[in-house]
Structure 1
Amino acid sequence: METSMVFAIAIIFFALIVIVKGIKIVPQSDLYLIERLGKFNKVLHGGFHIIIPIIDNVRAVLTSREQLVDIAKQSVITKDNVNISIDGIVFCKVDDAMQATYNVVDFKNAIANLAMTTLRAEIGGMDLDDTLSNRETLNAKLQSELGSAATNWGIKVTRVEISDISVPQEIERAMNMQMEAEREKRAIETKARADKEAVIRKAEAFKQEEVLKAEAIERMADARRYEQEQLAAGQQEAMRLINISMMENEKAAEFLLAKDRIAAFRALAESNSTDKMILPYEVAQMIGSTSVLGDAFFKGVSNGATNNA
């Protein structure tokens, strides 16, 4: 009876062990690669799974998350024979668990070594300036080369980043001097362009000023010419009207002369000068007639004396 009980307990214990071994709860981010009798059977993804104990075995546990593969710092010679130190990081993830397990021993180590080899080859065909300035292009080339090789290992290369590029101190000093010279050159060129632009703008302003002056002079000349034309036209019209009036009325001429004499007398009367004498028109006319008679008399006497002689 005791033997039977021990045997039953052993069977129960064995069954429990089998059940425990047959149940697999896989985390969401993991991949379980299952072999059956030493041969690949399937890949278990996240969740609850049952396998056959002893017959089925977990060959490898991989993660489906993105992983980082560090590229160790190494010395690389550029196309123009400059020795630089460079390192980087490769971002990758397992795309096929079976290939990542059976096609390569250690995919991380393989990717790191392939990245170093590819990096040497790429930088060996580039000048130092291109290496420093075209880092994005270098990253794209490395990702393309690594992606093609890693596909056979079931690995997907998502991104490659060159983290640091170090150059020798003497090269760095020479580069700093070159950059300073380039800055000074650009500053001189910028100042020269600014001076040239200032001269051009000044000349344009002077030209515009002269054009505006010429236009103003021309407009003033046109205005004066128009004024003179209008004055001449007014005087011509006034003379025409005077002629008409004189033809129609004989006293019109005497009226105009009297008007001018009145204006002259008024101006003379308003003058502050003391050396002046104002005479009536009739007296002035009589003096004028007397002067004419006197001139005629003396002229006649002179002619008679000449004849007697």
Structure 2
Amino acid sequence: MAFLVVILVVVFLKLAVKIVSQSDIYIVERLGRFHKVLDGGFHIIIPFIDQIRDEITIREQLVDITKQQVITKDNVNISVDGIVFLKVTDGKMALYNVDSYKRAIANLAMTTLRGEIGAMNLDDTLSSRDRLNSALQVALGDAANNWGVKIMRVEISEISVPSGIEEAMNLQMKAEREKRAIELKAEAEKAALIRNAEALKQEKVLQAEAIERMADAKKYEQIALATAQKEAMDMINASMSQNQNAAEFLLAKDRVMAFNELAKNTSKDKILVPYEASELIGSLSVLKEFLGKKQ
């Protein structure tokens, strides 16, 4: 009898004591109706009256959006798949408001994805993944709030286009790159021509400025020389008016300089005659002419 009691106590404790993991929650029903939610830790329920209706994880989960065929606005058939990251925030709503929140979110994601891509051209679809992700997150978030689920983020993992269209797109991109390269080359050549023209212009301007400055310097030099000569002549005239021997001094000075230059000449066909001797020869020639007339 005592052994039977021990067995009943053990069974009762096993049914009554619930230890819940930190990452999970238990939904408890009492006599078929929702009673409470058990969070992580130690809990006691009433056996046969309370029962665990479901065990739900509160960790972030992912739902795969299976690959599907979608037609774009410009009638191109493409294949798209993605992933939805979600987290249960209200276990009661997640259990009682929808049959399967994961399946519901997956189906809603596929429907929303078809609608979004159907309103976009192929080029916009391929270049606007962030826009698609945001649109899906907003649409799924509004519905998921009624299911006690929070949509953390949505990622479009792959967008596949038919091989023929992909080849045409590659040719188009190649043509665009070649066009861009030609435009860049033309712009570079244009910029080089402009720089060369500016450099030539600057060179001509600098040359003109140099010529103008040289002309100004020559002009100032000639003015200064003429001024100095005028002042020298004025000084000579003043000296001659004050001293009668000044002119003879200047003539003598010029003669000395002339004789010096003649003396430097290495030619042998020259005779230096002093000034006094030349005067004597002149006098003798005059006397000869006079005596000749007497006879």
- Interval containing the TM-score (normalised by the shorter chain): over 0.9
From 145, 148, 171, the counterpart of 1:151 = 145
Q: Which residue of 1 aligns with 2:293?
A: none
Q: Secondary structure at the match of 1:190?
A: helix
Q: Which residue of 2 aligns with 1:98?
A: 92
Report the alpha carbon displacement of residue 287 of structure 1 after superposing the two structures with TM.
Answer: 5.9
After the TM superposition, which residues 284-303 of structure 1 pair with which residues of structure 2 at under 5 Å, given as runs?
A: 284-285=278-279
What letter is aligned with 1:230?
A
Which piece of structure 1 moves more, 244-253 or 173-182?
244-253
Report the alpha carbon displacement of residue 156 of structure 1 after superposing the two structures with TM.
Answer: 0.5
What is the distance in 2 between the residues matched to 1:292 and 1:161?
134
Report the alpha carbon displacement of residue 10 of structure 1 after superposing the two structures with TM.
Answer: 2.7
From 98, 101, 104, the counterpart of 1:107 = 101
What is the distance in 1 between the residues matched to 2:17 and 2:287?
165
What is the distance in 2 between the residues matched to 1:293 and 1:212?
74
After the TM superposition, which residues 156-167 of structure 1 pair with which residues of structure 2 at under 5 Å, given as runs?
A: 156-167=150-161
Extract unaligned runs of 5+ from structure 1. Answer: 1-5, 296-309
What is the distance in 1 between the residues matched to 2:88 and 2:281?
141
What is the distance in 2 between the residues matched to 1:87 and 1:98?
30
Residue 151 (structure 2) pairs with residue 121 (structure 1): no
After the TM superposition, which residues 2-13 of structure 1 pair with which residues of structure 2 at under 5 Å, given as runs?
A: 6=1, 8-13=2-7
Residue 171 (structure 2) pairs with residue 182 (structure 1): no
What is the distance in 2 between the residues matched to 1:14 and 1:81?
70
What is the distance in 1 between the residues matched to 2:279 and 2:52?
154
Report the alpha carbon displacement of residue 204 of structure 1 after superposing the two structures with TM.
Answer: 0.4
1:8-51 superposed Cα distances (whole Å, 9 cap, x missing partner): 43333222211221111100000111111111111111111111
Report the alpha carbon displacement of residue 275 of structure 1 after superposing the two structures with TM.
Answer: 3.5
Task: Mark the CA change 1:248 to 1:268 in structure 2 (over 3 Å): closer, same or farther.
Answer: same
What letter is aligned with 1:234?
A
What is the distance in 2 between the residues matched to 1:183 and 1:269?
88
From 23, 43, 46, the counterpart of 1:49 = 43
Name the Cα RMSD after superposition.
1.9
What letter is aligned with 1:115?
A
What is the distance in 1 between the residues matched to 2:288 and 2:135?
131
What is the distance in 1 between the residues matched to 2:28 and 2:235?
132
Task: Mark the CA change 1:273 to 1:24 in structure 2 (over 3 Å): closer, same or farther.
Answer: same
Aligned length: 289
What is the distance in 2 between the residues matched to 1:171 and 1:205?
50
Task: Mark the CA change 1:184 to 1:286 in structure 2 (over 3 Å): closer, same or farther.
Answer: farther
Q: Which residue of 1 aligns with 2:232?
A: 238
From 273, 283, 294, the counterpart of 1:279 = 273
Report the alpha carbon displacement of residue 268 of structure 1 after superposing the two structures with TM.
Answer: 1.4
Report the alpha carbon displacement of residue 286 of structure 1 after superposing the two structures with TM.
Answer: 5.6
What is the distance in 1 between the residues matched to 2:286 and 2:126?
119
Q: Identity over aligned residues, as a percent?
A: 64
After the TM superposition, which residues 12-51 of structure 1 pair with which residues of structure 2 at under 5 Å, given as runs?
A: 12-51=6-45
What is the distance in 2 between the residues matched to 1:122 and 1:293?
139
Q: Secondary structure at the match of 2:246?
A: helix
Q: Secondary structure at the match of 1:241?
A: helix
What is the distance in 2 between the residues matched to 1:290 and 1:108?
150
TM-score (norm 2): 0.93
Task: Mark the CA change 1:292 to 1:40 in structure 2 (over 3 Å): closer, same or farther.
Answer: farther
What is the distance in 2 between the residues matched to 1:290 and 1:190?
101
From 258, 267, 270, the counterpart of 2:264 = 270
Residue 233 (structure 2) pairs with residue 256 (structure 1): no
Extract unaligned runs of 5+ from structure 2. Answer: 290-295
What is the distance in 2 between the residues matched to 1:149 and 1:290?
147
Residue 129 (structure 2) pairs with residue 135 (structure 1): yes
Task: Mark the CA change 1:216 to 1:291 in structure 2 (over 3 Å): closer, same or farther.
Answer: farther
Report the alpha carbon displacement of residue 277 of structure 1 after superposing the two structures with TM.
Answer: 2.8
Q: Runs of at least 4 residues of structure 1 off by over 3 A?
A: 283-295
Q: Which residue of 2 aligns with 1:224?
A: 218
Q: Which residue of 2 aligns with 1:173?
A: 167
Which piece of structure 1 moves more, 145-154 or 284-293?
284-293
What is the distance in 2 between the residues matched to 1:135 and 1:27?
37
Report the alpha carbon displacement of residue 261 of structure 1 after superposing the two structures with TM.
Answer: 1.1
What is the distance in 2 between the residues matched to 1:119 and 1:293?
142
Q: Secondary structure at the match of 1:33?
A: strand
Report the alpha carbon displacement of residue 167 of structure 1 after superposing the two structures with TM.
Answer: 0.5
What is the distance in 2 between the residues matched to 1:158 and 1:294?
143
